[in-house]
Amino acid sequence: MSEGPNIVRVAALIGDNARAEVLSALMSGRAYTATELADTAGVTKQTISFHLGKLLEAALITVEKQGRHRYFMLAGPEVASLLESLMGLAFKNEDGSRFTGPRDPALRKARICYDHLAGELGVCVYEQMLQNGIFQQHSGGLDLTEHGRAWFLRLGIDTDALASSKRPLCRTCLDWSERRHHLAGALGSALLTRIQERGWAKQEKDSRVIAFSASGEKALWAMLPPQSTLSVSGQTFTSQRSVDIENIQTIQHT
């Protein structure tokens, strides 16, 4: 018995209401103080301190001290990725009774996943970028193409500067609601930042929802024109994708 790493510790850590609430909140990519987290988790400060201690010890989150505040955040993309996987499984076996709030459709359309774009839109953008030859796939990863460099530069993102940081440039992350991949890594992060800076979308307060304006969404798609002729591997991708875009109905935010 007991082969392999010790799963129990990590899983048990996530398997508590208060802590899961904390982790979910941190999935927004934002850093929160202990009291804020206590509030969202619905427990007292003492209790949250206890939980945060445990999460820190297991290196699922990190702290940054600033004055008399301590800002907590997810330890890294791997943690976010694991949480998304968990959501995927949980979602599959959901009763349907839960998770039917008004947040739901907006969340599924576009949300933040740690620091990059997820949801229908995230997946769609990623696939469209591939179609446009911005990346080249190879075993176990992605490469930015020369054309891709130019594309990002047009958006005001200097990929060379990003590449010099420790963080891997392009990664993909599996989407729990879509069961397909979206762009993560330094580029995914930079892209979302740019989208927000340009005012195309805005992250809703205290939520993972990314709300796109109609014009913002239009502007984004304008940068990723459908490539009807450029069939990468003989699959019927283009038609499939355009259908996906049609299916994204615009959500009313209350």
- Tell me the C-alpha distance between 209 and 111, whole Å: 4
- Tell me the C-alpha distance between 87 and 236, whole Å: 29
SS3 74: strand
Q: Judged by CB under 7 A, which of 26, 27, 31, 43 binds DNA?
A: 43
State the maximum Cα–Cα separation within the chain, in Å, rounded to a whole number: 60
- Based on the shown chain and the rule CB under 8 A, indicate whether residue 138 belongs to the binding site for a second copy: yes
Q: Judged by CB under 7 A, which of 10, 24, 58, 70 binds DNA?
A: 70
CB neighbourhood size of 200 (10 A): 17
114: partner contacted, choices a second copy, DNA, none (Cβ within 5-8 A by kind): none
The answer to whether 212 and 102 are in contact (CB under 8 A) is: no
- Tell me the C-alpha distance between 229 and 237, whole Å: 10
The answer to whether 188 and 152 are in contact (CB under 8 A) is: no
The answer to whether 190 and 171 are in contact (CB under 8 A) is: no
Least distance (Å) between residue 30 CB and a second copy: 13
Contacts (Cβ under 8 Å, ≥6 apart) of 121:
109, 110, 210, 212, 217, 248
- Based on the shown chain and the rule CB under 8 A, indicate whether residue 236 belongs to the binding site for a second copy: no
- Based on the shown chain and the rule CB under 8 A, indicate whether residue 230 belongs to the binding site for a second copy: no
Residues 74-103 that bind DNA (CB under 7 A): none
251: partner contacted, choices DNA, a second copy, none (Cβ within 5-8 A by kind): none
- Piece of the chain touching a second copy by CB under 8 A; list 84-92, 153-161, 184-192, 217-225: 84-92
| H or E, element range at 37 | helix 34-41
Residues 95-124 that bind a second copy (CB under 8 A): 98-99, 103, 107, 123
Least distance (Å) between residue 59 CB and DNA: 15
- Based on the shown chain and the rule CB under 8 A, indicate whether residue 50 belongs to the binding site for a second copy: no
Which residues of the shown chain bind DNA in the complex (CB under 7 A)?
Answer: 12, 16-19, 33-36, 43-54, 67-70
Binding site for a second copy (CB under 8 A): 1-17, 20-21, 23-25, 40-42, 58-60, 78-79, 81-83, 85-94, 98-99, 103, 107, 123, 126-127, 130-131, 136-140, 143, 176, 180-181, 207-208, 232-235, 237
